[in-house]
Structure 1
Amino acid sequence: MSPNVTDSLSLSPVPTYKVISPNVLYTDTHIFADYIYHNATVSKNEIGGTLEVTPTETKYKFKTEVNIPKVGLMMVGWGGNNGSTLTASVIANREKISWHTKDGLKSANYFGSVVQASTLKLGVDAKGNDVFIPFNDILPMVHPNDLVLGGWDISSLNLAQAMERAKVLDYDLQRQVKPKLEQLKPLPSIYYPDFIAANQSDRADNLIPGNNKKEHLEQIRKDIRDFKEANKLDKIIVVWTANTERYAEIISGVNDTADNILKAVENSHSEIAPSTIFALACILEKTPFINGSPQNTFVPGCIELAEREHVYIGGDDFKSGQTKVKSVLVDFLVNAGIKPIGITSYNHLGNNDGKNLSAPQQFRSKEISKSNVVDDMVAANEILYKPGEHPDHVVVIKYVPAVGDSKRALDEYVSDIFMGGKNTISLYNTCEDSLLASPLILDLAIITELMTRIEYCAGDMEEYEPFDAVLSILSFMLKAPLVPSGTPVVNALSKQRMAMENFFRACVGLAPQNEMLLEHKAPLFCQEKLIALNIVHDSNLQGFDGLVTMQPVSVQQMQPSYAAEFPIQDNSHSFYGGMLNFLGAFCGFIGSVPICPCFPNPYKKVEQGYVGLITQFGKFYKFVDPGLVKVNVFTEDIIRVDVKIQITEIPHQYIMTKDNALIERTQTTLRHTLGSRVLQDCIENREAIAYEIKEIIDEPASNWGVKVESILIKDIEFSRELQESLSSAAQAKRIGESKVIAAQAEVDAAKLMRQAAELLNSPAAMQIRYLETMSSMSKASGTKVIFMPYNTSDGSSSSLYGGDGSSSNSKKIDPIKATVYEQIAEH
């Protein structure tokens, strides 16, 4: 194990729910979900100026891998306040540590983490009550205790020293986690003095040598590979939690394209920031990278490289305290029809982040990320704000060492209200900076890893593909959300949370969450009813308990319309064809009269459940729906095609599975589906096998006009020899389990007997047994009892236990203050 690692110990979570829907399929490895995304496009009528809204729907397929990998989290700035606090907290949670404070006993938790400490609404129960589940149960997610931690820092202090320097955690907790943190030391990092404040130079004693940025890039790549190999990791997520840098200048030919920025790194160009070096290294190593500071790490060339390499990136700047409140409050004011006209945000802090931000260039990066947080909310209301109008917005940050990591935030919101009035809201917020930011690092890493296991398919896409490289779904945790080009930025906290929650619901085939509560607002559905597929269970209807009523469906729902006409070119067959058409129409007209049965009737009947296929001179002409259909008696024929769902039985057939087990299966043309699986899969994963078969035969079947609704595997028949083998294996397993249970019971009994022996050998226990023995002996006939008082403080009582009065055991027994009576039996 490398020295900068924390082990993972806990187990993966067990799913707590399952979606029962034809649109969702669970297999051992994936969750497949079909989802219809509803939206609306709006256009403006140029004549009347009316807004025209067109509902749209797009069909998506989602595939989520359910097997949770072993994941490493590497932090840039690991020895800082956030990194040391997060590492100590994960160890405390993993070890279930409790510690004392002046307020009492505290226990480790993950409060402040959306993934670990929040819930989401799954649906409603039969009584209409909301049902909630933990957020991390919606899809399989990595648990923080399972993360392997590591990283880089420009400071050489180990994590225990860094934790003490940060002064964030209580002393009693620091004392307990210190032995483990002392073993952890950050890897050397990159230090370019031009990008961070000069006051950070005294910490920079753990640096990658040299000034060659290409060599720095390659060293970071090597560190990632080595960390992954040393800890046998499947994936790594890298998060920047180091100092805020100044903004990098966007220069044409330097950092504007992927190729230019890689060339600029080779030339060690001065405008390539340390955070961009880390981002490029991660992208080239196919490792997701999250920027937790406000600088413009993701210059255009960096984003282009991420999209080209299909590697996830996210940013910028952790949204933990003051800005999170602002994104809620401004959203509330604007949606309430109140117009904020002035927002003043002041805060001071005393940690190293505040020290770095005391430099003007670094403060400017933070000011930009804090100021843009209200833009989308203001732009959404043209009633309150004219085009180009914006509230006055001022952000001030001061460095005050005395307050340490406990940041003070003061905000004032001045708003216009009804009839020229003014409303002022003032807030004072004490933010424990690192204790609020550390859980966000966990959320960002866990959700990013989850996104690497989700793929989608839509439209004419033939294969599942990953999402856009820019992870806008992380917006809830970030001040200045990075979004794909052309995507609107959303800062309102409620919308960001809703987007994240509904996206994960879509991955399991669930509709977006809304608060319409129609089941309570619509009078006919206010009673306790089960509503599914037009079936209503009403326990109060006409006094009958448990009556089930069926709502009739419309004719259109019973059978869709297939009516269509094919264009036929040059099918008149000249004079001959024209004469036949004329005679057919004439004879058909006469035949339609009931008193002329000698002429053919042109009206034909198509039954419900069938479609009429009409041919003209032998060519397909048109489809007609059920009902009475008129045809030309000489030139047209009608063929009735059954379109009802039919069940086709496929004869049994012998198939050899991957592990050479001979079984009978009901598939003939798809033997390779079974041949690629072992026997255990055939027994346990029938749904997955059926789904795989359906996927294969859907396309060729549709080419013949057949739609395969579903495939069911009814039975798997084993040969007699295999049945006997399976029975023997099961019996052997049961015998083995019983032996393990018996052995465990013997071990437990031995432990208990050893504990009992140790207890009975103690002086106190021997004294009790002595008194009990004397008491029982005194009850016997012919017994003489003599009472002799004495003091045990002189150690003479040790003779009762066979000692000499000076043994260590006798000294451990408190002197008996009352009089002790010795009973001597005589026979």
Structure 2
Amino acid sequence: MFGARGSVGTTTIAGAAALAHGSPPAGVVTELPDFASVGLVGLDQLVFGGHDLVDTPLTKQVERLAAGGVLPPGLDGLIAADLADAERNLVVPSAGGSQYDQVRRMAEDIRAFRLRNDLDRVVAINVASTEPPYEVADVDLAGLRRALATSAVLPPSSLGALAAFEADAAYVDFTPSTSIRPAAVREWAVEKGLPYGGQDAKTGETLVKSVLAPMFAARALPVHAWSGTNLLGGGDGATLADPRAAESKNVSKERGLSEMLGDVAGQVHIDYVDPMGDWKTAWDHVLFSGFLGVRMTLQFTWQGCDSALAAPLVLDLARLSALALERGHVGAMPFLGFYFKDPIESTEHSLSRQYDELLRWAQSC
């Protein structure tokens, strides 16, 4: 994982260890009966590693998350050995050199992780903080290779994606960052014969929208306005307090609604509230009309723990992407759209239809 020591990465590592010790797999979709015969790798067969710019030990991160109510108290003692195993696989990327040098060094780290742990397949998942929008020059694959050797043409998320492809790993972006958006980055994956997927996991407000919006459409109830306010703390909240970083998130949060319902008034606002920690609250107000134009409203409040909602999805995406690697899938994985606000190469946003698409692919063999 890129961003492995963050709240989502730490909760994923600690959560997988807790599952191995008997905790129920709430939120892990791939543990549902529908996926029992698919041939997914067992949760107990996953090995964790990753890159992060900070070097705070996982044990300290787990203590912090337990103090905030994200993880159960006392879990750190139960999974101490698992955290120590993962700790040995975490790397702080070294700076310096060209962007091509950075890609090469991260790819070497991923290869070393694979060899050290005798792994069959590696999936790289970006769970780092959201980047501000980044303008990438429109170049072909050869032009990108030349540019990487001489100038800074890509943001860190895209360099991580290229490092994964150079190390023969699948890549999934859990964030709305630039990463695999440039065409040349995707071409790099195809040239290497590897799958990629994303972007911007839907864990809260947008998840609810992807269920409710198709309801209005199916019942022929015109929606006139849909406004939302999000309050969140933690590292992601601090990042999104920067309007430039929030821009990427807002675009992905609003895209699904417009594609499901058309032109709907209203906006999504994100406010950083530091004392909320890893918890988030979303308030939504929906204005719609019924028979003979009678105006009505729907309002809902979603309160949840972001990392606890996200971690089981990371486990799902690791297992499904490993299956894609095993099947020799090359290029985009639109069948993973069930998990994302802005799914790669897919315009489907209805959660139920996305689930059906995922299941059809998973059961296709």
Tell whether 2:178 aligns with 1:296: yes
- Residue 352 of structure 1 aligns with which residue? 235
> Does the 8 Å contact 2:165/2:188 carry over to 1?
yes
Measure, in 2, the Cα distance between the counterparts of 1:404 and 1:246.
22
> Does the 8 Å contact 1:244/1:294 carry over to 2?
yes
Per-residue deviation at 1:179? 5.3
Per-residue deviation at 1:453? 2.6
Change (3 A) 1:247 1:230: same
> Does the 8 Å contact 1:237/1:287 carry over to 2?
yes
Per-residue deviation at 1:235? 0.8
Tell whether 2:51 aligns with 1:152: yes
Measure, in 2, the Cα distance between the counterparts of 1:251 and 1:217.
18
Q: How does 1:26-65 map to 2 (within 5 A)?
A: none
Measure, in 2, the Cα distance between the counterparts of 1:410 and 1:175.
37
Runs of 4+ in structure 1 off by over 6 angstroms are none
Higher helix share: 2
Tell whether 2:217 aligns with 1:217: no
Residue 35 (structure 2) aligned to one of 136, 160, 175: 136
Q: Supply the AA of the counterpart residue of 1:287.
A: A
Per-residue deviation at 1:278? 0.9
Measure, in 1, the Cα distance between the counterparts of 2:114 and 2:330.
25
Instruction: Name which one, 1 or 2, has greater alpha-carbon Rg.
Output: 1
Residue 243 (structure 1) aligned to one of 115, 120, 129: 129
Tell whether 2:51 aligns with 1:181: no
- Residue 476 of structure 1 aligns with which residue? 338
Measure, in 2, the Cα distance between the counterparts of 1:290 and 1:372.
20
1:15-52 CA-to-partner distances (Å, cap 9, x unmatched) read: xxxxxxxxxxxxxxxxxxxxxxxxxxxxxxxxxxxxxx
- Residue 127 of structure 1 aligns with which residue? none
Measure, in 1, the Cα distance between the counterparts of 2:353 and 2:95.
45
Per-residue deviation at 1:375? 2.9
Measure, in 1, the Cα distance between the counterparts of 2:234 and 2:289.
37
Per-residue deviation at 1:185? 5.3
Per-residue deviation at 1:144? 1.4
Measure, in 2, the Cα distance between the counterparts of 1:467 and 1:339.
40
Measure, in 2, the Cα distance between the counterparts of 1:157 and 1:182.
13
Per-residue deviation at 1:77? 0.7
Tell whether 2:1 aligns with 1:115: no
- Residue 356 of structure 2 aligns with which residue? 498
Q: Supply the AA of the counterpart residue of 1:498.
A: D
Measure, in 2, the Cα distance between the counterparts of 1:496 and 1:157.
37
Measure, in 1, the Cα distance between the counterparts of 2:83 and 2:330.
37
Measure, in 1, the Cα distance between the counterparts of 2:147 and 2:173.
21
- Residue 325 of structure 2 aligns with which residue? 452
Q: Supply the AA of the counterpart residue of 1:259.
A: A
Aligned residue pairs: how many? 360
Measure, in 1, the Cα distance between the counterparts of 2:332 and 2:142.
19
- Residue 269 of structure 2 aligns with which residue? 396
1:691-747 CA-to-partner distances (Å, cap 9, x unmatched) read: xxxxxxxxxxxxxxxxxxxxxxxxxxxxxxxxxxxxxxxxxxxxxxxxxxxxxxxxx
Change (3 A) 1:279 1:294: same
Measure, in 2, the Cα distance between the counterparts of 1:147 and 1:179.
15
Change (3 A) 1:326 1:277: same
Measure, in 1, the Cα distance between the counterparts of 2:106 and 2:58.
20
Q: Supply the AA of the counterpart residue of 2:215.
A: F
Q: Supply the AA of the counterpart residue of 1:321.
A: G
- Residue 228 of structure 1 aligns with which residue? 114
Per-residue deviation at 1:178? 3.9
Tell whether 2:194 aligns with 1:311: yes
Tell whether 2:13 aligns with 1:87: yes
> Does the 8 Å contact 2:221/2:289 carry over to 1?
yes
Measure, in 1, the Cα distance between the counterparts of 2:12 and 2:364.
31
Unaligned 5+ segments in structure 1 are 1-74, 97-107, 119-133, 190-206, 380-389, 455-465, 508-827
Measure, in 1, the Cα distance between the counterparts of 2:339 and 2:254.
16
Unaligned 5+ segments in structure 2 are none
Measure, in 1, the Cα distance between the counterparts of 2:290 and 2:227.
18
Q: Supply the AA of the counterpart residue of 2:141.
A: A
TM-score, length-scaled by structure 2: 0.94
- Residue 165 of structure 1 aligns with which residue? 64
Q: Supply the AA of the counterpart residue of 1:146.
A: Q
Measure, in 2, the Cα distance between the counterparts of 1:347 and 1:322.
8
> Does the 8 Å contact 1:350/1:406 carry over to 2?
yes
Q: How does 1:250-261 map to 2 (within 5 A)?
A: 250-252=136-138, 256-261=139-144
Residue 150 (structure 2) aligned to one of 259, 262, 267: 267
- Residue 283 of structure 1 aligns with which residue? 165
Q: What SS does structure 1 have at the residue aligned with 2:314?
A: helix
Q: Supply the AA of the counterpart residue of 1:214.
A: Y
Q: How does 1:546-557 map to 2 (within 5 A)?
A: none
Measure, in 2, the Cα distance between the counterparts of 1:362 and 1:377.
25
- Residue 425 of structure 1 aligns with which residue? 298
> Does the 8 Å contact 2:5/2:58 carry over to 1?
yes
Q: What SS does structure 2 have at the residue aligned with 1:408?
A: strand
1:132-189 CA-to-partner distances (Å, cap 9, x unmatched) read: xx13313111111110111111111111112223332122223432454256156344
Q: Supply the AA of the counterpart residue of 1:311.
A: L
Q: Supply the AA of the counterpart residue of 1:157.
A: T
- Residue 322 of structure 1 aligns with which residue? 205
Aligned-pair identity in percent equals 28
> Does the 8 Å contact 2:194/2:329 carry over to 1?
no
- Residue 253 of structure 2 aligns with which residue? 370
Measure, in 2, the Cα distance between the counterparts of 1:316 and 1:347.
19
> Does the 8 Å contact 2:224/2:265 carry over to 1?
yes
Q: Supply the AA of the counterpart residue of 1:304.
A: E
**Larger relative contact order (Cα-Cα within 8 Å, sequence gap ≥ 6):** 2
Measure, in 1, the Cα distance between the counterparts of 2:145 and 2:27.
38
> Does the 8 Å contact 2:160/2:179 carry over to 1?
no
Q: Supply the AA of the counterpart residue of 1:160.
A: T
> Does the 8 Å contact 1:240/1:291 carry over to 2?
yes
Per-residue deviation at 1:303? 1.1
Q: What SS does structure 1 have at the residue aligned with 2:165?
A: helix
Q: Supply the AA of the counterpart residue of 1:502.
A: R
Q: Supply the AA of the counterpart residue of 1:135.
A: D
Higher strand share: 1
1:103-146 CA-to-partner distances (Å, cap 9, x unmatched) read: xxxxx121111101x3xxxxxxxxxxxxxxx1331311111111
Measure, in 2, the Cα distance between the counterparts of 1:436 and 1:410.
18
> Does the 8 Å contact 1:79/1:186 carry over to 2?
no
Q: Supply the AA of the counterpart residue of 1:187.
A: L
TM-score, length-scaled by structure 1: 0.42
Q: What SS does structure 1 have at the residue aligned with 2:60?
A: helix
> Does the 8 Å contact 1:158/1:182 carry over to 2?
no
Measure, in 2, the Cα distance between the counterparts of 1:341 and 1:410.
17
Q: What SS does structure 2 have at the residue aligned with 1:318?
A: coil
Per-residue deviation at 1:91? 1.2
